[in-house]
Structure 1
Amino acid sequence: MAYTDEGMTKISSQKAKKLFNDGQEVYLLYPDNTEAVMESVDQIEEHEYRDGQFGVE
Structure 2
Amino acid sequence: MQEAIDRVMVTYGMIAQLSPEAERNLRQAVTSYLATSPETDSDKLAIEGLKFARETAGQG
* TM-score, normalising length: structure 1: 0.34
* TM-score, normalising length: structure 2: 0.33
